[in-house]
């Protein structure tokens, strides 16, 4: 019997963000392991992860809402579902995070949805865990781990990525910060100082200055099109986590070694790698996927700028959402909505 059913009657639980945070906070290493497992399942053909669907608005061209349907295999963690995540960059001006999201989990035996989770935290956690995993895997074979990190963009995603890097054992001598908003940059350095994290915070007045001084560069902005176009800024061959996907011009992408999370997903929606494909009409500038590196099928060339571009796979959200749901279930803390499903008999006999 499915864990989402009691007495053969489907149940439905709502999981607010506070509960999501209570499960995930302090378990960063475990979350990174869950994300790695999901990548391995995906690379091994045990997932279904169709293209994301973008809902756009003629009167609000900067905004979008994205549907990410997916199915995750695995003996115990199998689940289907959908992430519905909005991106409204104008929120940042009023102090709200850019993104908000919900995640629906569906039972694989019956198809019934059995939970709705607040998912901006899940999305941020899986994004940060993916970045931390990539930083670890891709820095192997490049000599000493980077000792200087720079964050271009200092919102929630940057904070989560820094948290996951720190929890994964990364220590820095210097943490560079650059944001178009001086207030946001100050808030991020305040977070760094209050948390007692390693590394001296340094605020840079330009992306160029930050990039040139950082061995690990994290792009976590709301940029809709490239503004970093000079490959010379990367002459020191840093490791780049291209999390926001659209900061780098094709010239930078084409000068680097490029690893993605999924080729078909990344080469769309005018991401930096998609623009590079459009500019050249080819894909051979892509070296491989993170799964290829995890399995040893691809060894990135050392001594060159290495860019990781993760489009963000729905199966990662499912993996974390299932984990949160099951942990709360074991603790008896799920909030069930009684009577959510009303018509459960074809002929009205129940």
User: How far is it, in rounded angstroms, from Cα 280 to Cα 335?
Assistant: 52
Q: What is the dihedral of CA 151, 98, 244, 19, to 10 degrees?
A: 80
CB-facing half-sphere around the CA of 231: CA atoms within 13 A: 12
pLDDT at 4: 45
Nearest Cα to 226, choosing from 241, 247, 207, 205?
Answer: 247
Find all residues with CB under 8 Å of 284, minimum gap 6, and list them.
none
The pair phi, psi for residue 117, each rounded to 5°, is: -115, 140
pLDDT at 9: 83
pLDDT at 39: 97
Question: Domain coordinates of the chain in residue numbers?
Answer: 5-122+314-336, 137-309
pLDDT at 350: 59
Give whole-number Cα distances, 296 to 137, 271, 292, 300, 329, in Å: 10, 26, 6, 10, 37
CA 21 to chain centre: 16
CB-facing half-sphere around the CA of 248: CA atoms within 13 A: 32
Is residue 268 within 8 Å of residue 276, measured between CB atoms? no
- Please determine, looking at this structure, whether the domain spanning 5-122+314-336 carries the CATH number 3.30.1780.10: yes
Helices 156-167, 182-194: crossing angle, 10 deg rounding: 30
| Spans of the chain below 70 pLDDT | 1-7, 74-77, 350
Is residue 329 within 8 Å of residue 172, measured between CB atoms? no
Rounded to two decimals, the pTM is 0.92
User: What b/e readout covers 285-324, taking b as 16+ CB neighbours within 10 angstroms?
Assistant: bbbbbbbbbbeeebebeeeebbbbbbbbbbbbbbbbbbbb
Class at the top of the CATH hierarchy for domain 137-309: alpha beta
């Amino acid at each position: 019997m499915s864990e989402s059913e009691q007495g053969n009657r489907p149940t439905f639980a709502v999981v607010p963000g506070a509960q999501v945070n209570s499960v995930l906070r302090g378990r960063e290493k475990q979350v990174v392991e869950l994300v790695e497992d999901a990548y391995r399942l995906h690379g091994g053909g045990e997932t279904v992860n169709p293209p994301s669907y973008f809902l756009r608005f003629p009167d609000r061209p900067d905004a979008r809402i994205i549907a990410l349907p997916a199915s995750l295999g695995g003996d115990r963690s199998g689940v289907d579902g959908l992430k519905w995540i909005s991106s409204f960059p104008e929120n940042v001006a009023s102090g709200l995070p850019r993104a908000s999201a919900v995640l629906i989990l569906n039972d694989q035996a019956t198809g019934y949805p059995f939970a709705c989770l607040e998912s901006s935290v899940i999305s941020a956690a899986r994004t940060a865990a993916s970045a931390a995993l990539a930083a670890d895997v891709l820095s192997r074979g490049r000599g000493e781990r980077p000792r200087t990190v720079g964050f271009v963009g200092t919102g929630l995603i940057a904070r989560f990525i820094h948290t996951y890097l720190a929890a994964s054992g990364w220590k820095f001598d210097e943490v560079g910060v650059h944001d178009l908003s001086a207030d946001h940059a100050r808030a991020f350095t305040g977070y760094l100082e209050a948390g007692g994290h390693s590394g001296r915070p340094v605020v840079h007045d330009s992306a160029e200055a930050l990039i040139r001084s950082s061995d690990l560069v994290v792009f976590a902005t709301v940029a809709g099109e490239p503004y970093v176009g000079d490959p010379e800024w990367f002459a020191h061959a840093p490791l780049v986590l291209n999390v926001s996907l659209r900061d780098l011009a094709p010239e930078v992408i084409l000068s680097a070694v490029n690893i993605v999370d999924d080729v078909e997903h990344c080469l769309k929606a005018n991401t930096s790698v998609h623009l590079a494909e459009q500019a050249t009409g080819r894909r051979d500038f892509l070296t491989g996927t993170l799964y290829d590196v995890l399995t040893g099928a691809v060894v990135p060339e050392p001594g060159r700028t290495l860019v990781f571009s993760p489009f963000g796979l729905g199966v990662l959200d499912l993996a974390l959402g299932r984990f949160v749901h099951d942990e709360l279930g074991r603790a008896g803390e799920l909030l069930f909505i009684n009577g959510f499903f009303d018509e459960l008999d074809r002929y009205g006999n129940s």
